[in-house]
Homo-oligomer: A and B are copies of this chain.
Amino acid sequence: MLDLPIHLDGAIRNQGRQVHAALRAAIVDGLLAPGLTLPSSRDLAAQLGVRRNAIVAAYEHLASDGLIEARHGAGTTVAERLPEPTPPAPAAAPRLAHAPVRARPFLLGQTGTDARLLRRLGGLVRRRIAGATADELGYGDPRGSAHLRAQVAAYLAANRGVRCDPECIAIVSGTQAAIRLCADALLPPGSRVWMEDPGYYATQATLRAAGLRLAPVPVDDAGLDVAAGARRAAGAKAVYVTPSHQFPTGVILAMRRRIELLDWARDSGAWIFEDDYDSEFRYAGPPLTALAGLGSGRVIYIGTFTKTLFASLRLAYVVLPPDVVGRVVAARAAHDRFPARFLQDAVADLIADGTLAAHVRRMRARYREARDATAAALRESAGDALRFTVPEQGLHLLALLPEGVSRATALAIRDAAEVEVRLLSDTQLTPRGPEGFILGFSGFESAALAAAARRIGRAAREIAGGAAQRSPTARRRVRHPTVPLE
């Protein structure tokens, strides 16, 4: 009897398991052919230097797997019918279109690391886990923690003018998850949806992944052009809008447009997805009332803890019109249900004891400083090559290149400056107007932001300053209704 071509894995503690794993791999890989007679347990024990009992246990395990057959008197053989051998594992890791990006300026979605907040959150989560009741460990209400929903309802009433029953709130893992959930529950496949143009690229992807068709609606200096939407896609079933701070232009949706939008939604039975993604960070004047605060049972309001806390927390919330709560919750139950229960309760504790509000105040001051450092460094380094207004709200700044500068040139500037920056054209469904950079200024030190801003400012002046001079349109006054930032 030849020795079997197997090697034991010393990392597995139990000898029987070691032998089982090694034989299983050899059989599945085709090293031991169907019908092959295996050595007696005594012989194999001697070959491998293990106890005979380990071989007996491994053989029994393989027999219950169906990989070997023990015939009384005829010894043990590899099963006659076996699956095809496993193809070899891929040499390289799979290539991903969505590979993670490095956290360097001006990556969007970073937030301030604050040791005080993290310590407090960690302590609250620990207490919630250690003290969990049996009910809290089981499947629960698919809307999420009642404690957090009550805190969110109180916060929205006091700060955003949104009055809602906590029963109409669902806790979700992010804004895109909320949009997807409601789209699946409320919109027939193939429906058209008004999308702000330019608008948030992640939502474009989400709506497309949900099988919906995007109807681009231009944004001017009063926000979404409702009349243009009604002309171009009157039959749309929904609209995605960022009324408090349009992404990426920063425009506020004017009251007359809000009323037009609510009227259109009511008359056409369409849903309004209101993404209120950064209203906690307003640097001048109080936060504006949310669209959902103006009434109408057509607004699906979405808020998030991604900006007030951090992105990898994966916690957001959606306020549903009362008559669709049942449908959305049913869809929810057949999907991800809710984020980890104790995490929701810990964040509710963080709101209830005032820690979150204090954290937001600290971060607002820090982000204002970061914004000012970024703006000052851009101004002093870029000359005429970048134009921007300093935003009164939010965590990003939009800097426009001279008209005529191409996307390729903008990418060259980005690469020369060694920054992570989104281009304005990434947000456009209809390419037009000047190219620009969307600079996230939260989550980085002011000094690092200023240095990065100087790099991109200088690169813009060197690369695009020249390009703009060569462009026949460069001397024209830059004025375009979709990006009214000057």
Q: What 1/0 flags go to A76-117 for Cβ under 8 Å of B? A: 000101111111011001111111100100010111010100
**Contact of B286 with A90 in the complex, beta carbons under 8 Å:** no
**Contact of B259 with A83 in the complex, beta carbons under 8 Å:** yes
Q: Is A326 an interface residue (CB 8 A)?
A: yes
Question: Which candidate, A308-316, A398-406, A453-461, A478-486, is the interface stretch facing chain B?
Answer: A308-316
**Contact of A336 with B322 in the complex, beta carbons under 8 Å:** no
Q: What 1/0 flags go to A165-181 for Cβ under 8 Å of B? A: 10110001110110010
Q: Complex formed: what's the CA distance from A122 to B263 in Å?
A: 49
Q: How many copies does the complex hold?
A: 2
Known A-B contacts A81-B255, A161-B21, A165-B89; A209 and B340 likewise in contact (beta carbons under 8 Å): no
**Contact of B141 with A100 in the complex, beta carbons under 8 Å:** yes
Known A-B contacts A174-B337, A209-B184; A312 and B84 likewise in contact (beta carbons under 8 Å): no
CB distance from A312 to the nearest CB of B (A): 4
Question: Which candidate, A132-140, A191-199, A375-383, is the interface stretch facing chain B?
Answer: A132-140
Q: What 1/0 flags go to A294-338 for Cβ under 8 Å of B? A: 111100000000000011111100000011011001111111111
Q: Complex formed: what's the CA distance from A123 to B129 in Å?
A: 9
A254 surroundings in chain B (CB, below 8 A): 66
A161 surroundings in chain B (CB, below 8 A): 21, 24-25, 28, 65
- A 143-200 contacts with B by CB, 8 A: 157-158, 161, 163-165, 167-168, 172-174, 176-177, 180, 184, 189
Q: Is A339 an interface residue (CB 8 A)?
A: yes
Q: Complex formed: what's the CA distance from A456 to B311 in Å?
A: 48
In-complex Cβ contact of A110 among B138, B174, B313, B329 (8 A): B138
The residue on B at minimum CB distance from A113 is: B134
The residue on B at minimum CB distance from A254 is: B66
In-complex Cβ contact of A126 among B113, B126, B285, B443 (8 A): B126
Question: In the complex, which of the residues A93, A266, A286 has the most CB atoms of chain B within 10 Å of its own CB atom?
Answer: A286
A168 surroundings in chain B (CB, below 8 A): 94
In-complex Cβ contact of A443 among B83, B94, B134, B326 (8 A): B134
Known A-B contacts A329-B98, A330-B98; A339 and B173 likewise in contact (beta carbons under 8 Å): yes
A337 surroundings in chain B (CB, below 8 A): 173-174, 176-177, 314
A84 surroundings in chain B (CB, below 8 A): 262-263, 266, 295-296
Q: Is A1 an interface residue (CB 8 A)?
A: no
Q: Is A213 an interface residue (CB 8 A)?
A: no
A98 surroundings in chain B (CB, below 8 A): 142, 329-330, 332-333
Sort chain A's interface into a size bin: 35 or more
Q: Complex formed: what's the CA distance from A330 to B99 in Å?
A: 10
**Contact of A110 with B125 in the complex, beta carbons under 8 Å:** no
Q: Is A237 an interface residue (CB 8 A)?
A: no
**Contact of A130 with B122 in the complex, beta carbons under 8 Å:** yes
Q: Is A12 an interface residue (CB 8 A)?
A: yes
A256 surroundings in chain B (CB, below 8 A): 66, 81
CB distance from A118 to the nearest CB of B (A): 5
**Contact of A296 with B83 in the complex, beta carbons under 8 Å:** yes
A133 surroundings in chain B (CB, below 8 A): 113
Q: Complex formed: what's the CA distance from A428 to B127 in Å?
A: 42
CB distance from A140 to the nearest CB of B (A): 5
The residue on B at minimum CB distance from A79 is: B255
Q: Is A61 an interface residue (CB 8 A)?
A: yes
**Contact of A136 with B312 in the complex, beta carbons under 8 Å:** yes
A341 surroundings in chain B (CB, below 8 A): 312-314
Question: In the complex, which of the residues A255, A296, A326 has the most CB atoms of chain B within 10 Å of its own CB atom?
Answer: A255
**Contact of A206 with B314 in the complex, beta carbons under 8 Å:** no
Q: Can you identify 25 A-B contacts, CB atoms within 8 angstroms?
A: A16-B286, A17-B158, A24-B161, A28-B295, A79-B255, A82-B259, A83-B262, A87-B295, A90-B165, A96-B325, A103-B138, A110-B138, A111-B137, A113-B133, A122-B126, A125-B129, A138-B311, A174-B336, A176-B336, A180-B334, A206-B335, A208-B334, A312-B340, A312-B341, A343-B343
Extra pairs beyond A86-B296, A89-B164 (11, CB < 8 Å): A25-B161, A25-B163, A28-B294, A96-B325, A98-B142, A113-B134, A121-B129, A313-B340, A313-B341, A314-B336, A336-B336
